[in-house]
Structure 1
Amino acid sequence: MITTEPRMTNLFLQLGLDASEEAIAAFIRDHQLSNEIRLIEAPYWNDGQRQFLTEQLRSDAEWAIVVDELSEALHADATVQANAG
């Protein structure tokens, strides 16, 4: 059971990633997804990370909000391009 406050930094820690502001910004910048790829389908997650993200989205708990925020951030470029066309 996860007892830490659901924030982006804690989500990155749960995923085993660098949770510094700079590292989060770089991850989001460097791992943009097309609108056709759902967050949990991204090729860069390992099985444990994918399972964690899937469980959080299915539970629709507090963590789901942060996972959704990550998904929106990782789809930001594709959204801008779709709206520009």
Structure 2
Amino acid sequence: MDTTPVDMSHLFEQLGLANQAQAITQFIATHKLSPQTHLTDAPFWTQAQKSFLIEALAADAQWTELIEQLDAQLRRP
């Protein structure tokens, strides 16, 4: 059983990104998605990050809700 806490900090850790609150805020501020771009097609993901997101969403994994929150935050003006 996976006991990894499911929060934005740990999602960023899973993606191999800096996971401190300030780093997450900075990432969201500097990476934006247009309405027509699917989250997994964003040009700023590495192949490994893209694969993780695709697999987590397809499996309706524990990360799905947080990935959807991240998606919404990346679309805010």
Does 2:71 correspond to 1:71?
yes
CA distance, structure 1, for counterparts of residue 23 and residue 2 of structure 2? 22
Structure 1 counterpart of 2:8: 8
Q: TM-score, normalised by structure 1?
A: 0.85
When Rg is computed on C-alpha atoms for both structures, the one with the higher figure is 1
> What TM-score, normalized by structure 2, do the two folds share?
0.93
Name structure 1 gaps, 5 residues minimum.
78-85
Q: Which runs of 5+ in 2 are unaligned?
A: none
Q: Could you list the runs of 4 or more consecutive aligned residues of structure 1 that deviate by over 3 angstroms after TM superposition? A: none
Among all aligned residue pairs of Structure 1 and Structure 2, give the percentage whose two residues are the same amino acid: 40
Report what 1:33 is aligned to.
33
Compute the displacement of 1:72 (Å).
0.5
Deviation at 1:2, TM superposition (A): 5.1
RMSD between superposed Cα atoms in Å? 1.3
